[in-house]
Amino acid sequence: MHARHRHPERHRTDRMGWLRAAVLGANDGIVSTASLVVGVAAASADPGQLMLTAVAGLVAGAMSMAAGEYVSVHSQSDTEDADLARERAELLADPAAERQELAAIYVTRGLEPVLAQQVADQLMRHGAVGAHARDELGLSDTQSARPVQAALASAGSFAVGAMLPLGVTAIAPATSLVAWVSGTSLAFLALLGAVAARAGGADMLAGAWRVGFWGALAMAATAAVGAWVGAVV
């Protein structure tokens, strides 16, 4: 007899938590830092002020991303915990009703009532809370909220993203700094969008265009405001 080999499958849902936070952080790091530099440069600031702006934007942005991600994801985690606690209480109070509720879910998914009841019985014996978390609440281990992981991923990726326009600001000629920062930042954003799309199994060109478009819009708006403020002041 031939040995049965398990078909290897590659899924990407286990990357959703950290990938979302990392892409958001890096994108925000590039866009916000580059936009700050372009906006301040459009107001005729000197190179020292531009570097100070970029460094301040990096530090403030990284801390803001970490705090924002932690608070928002922790709120999601609190909601999940509350739902699971409610489910545990309902299972203790009326397990038969919970079993019927689970079976009804399987019927709506296409199982015959008798088979749905058998599946519900077996899953309830194996792990009642886990079965209800997956099939009633839609919760899973791969998509569960991890506040610390999200905060660290966002802060770290923001800092990495912000370092790119910061580095260009440090070495670009003052006379063409806006063009250098804008052009290289758009290139970085397009690369980021393509890599993120690749990691998530999506179309790389669409990912690059999407991120690049919004980055260009942000820098153009900031440059216009900076030029207007510089002219007024």
pLDDT for 231 beyond 70 = no
Tokens of 82: 């509350």
Give the mean pLDDT of the chain. 82
Residues 215, 186 contacting (CB under 8 angstroms): yes
Check residue 166 and give its pLDDT.
93
Per-residue confidence at 6, pLDDT binned at 50, 70, 90? low
Per-residue confidence at 145, pLDDT binned at 50, 70, 90? low
Residues 213, 65 contacting (CB under 8 angstroms): no
Check residue 144 and give its pLDDT.
61
Check residue 133 and give its pLDDT.
78
Using alpha carbons, select from 161, 156, 151, 152 the residue that is nearest to residue 26: 161
C-alpha to C-alpha distance for 183 and 33, rounded to whole angstroms: 14
Domain boundaries of the chain, sorted by first residue = 16-81+147-232
Using alpha carbons, select from 189, 151, 136 the residue that is nearest to residue 22: 151
Mean pLDDT of 22-42: 88
Mean pLDDT of 165-187: 91
Check residue 45 and give its pLDDT.
76
C-alpha to C-alpha distance for 192 and 210, rounded to whole angstroms: 11
Residues 25, 161 contacting (CB under 8 angstroms): yes
142: left (phi over 0), alpha (psi -120 to 50) or beta: alpha
Check residue 187 and give its pLDDT.
92
User: Within the chain, where are the H helices?
Assistant: 16-42, 47-93, 95-108, 113-135, 147-171, 177-200, 204-232
Task: Kindly report whether the global pTM for this prediction surpasses the value 0.75.
Answer: no
Please state at what angle helix 147-171 crosses helix 177-200, rounded to 10 degrees: 150
Indicate the DSSP class of residue 8: P
Check residue 30 and give its pLDDT.
92
Interior angle at CA 29, CA 217 and CA 182, nearest 5: 45
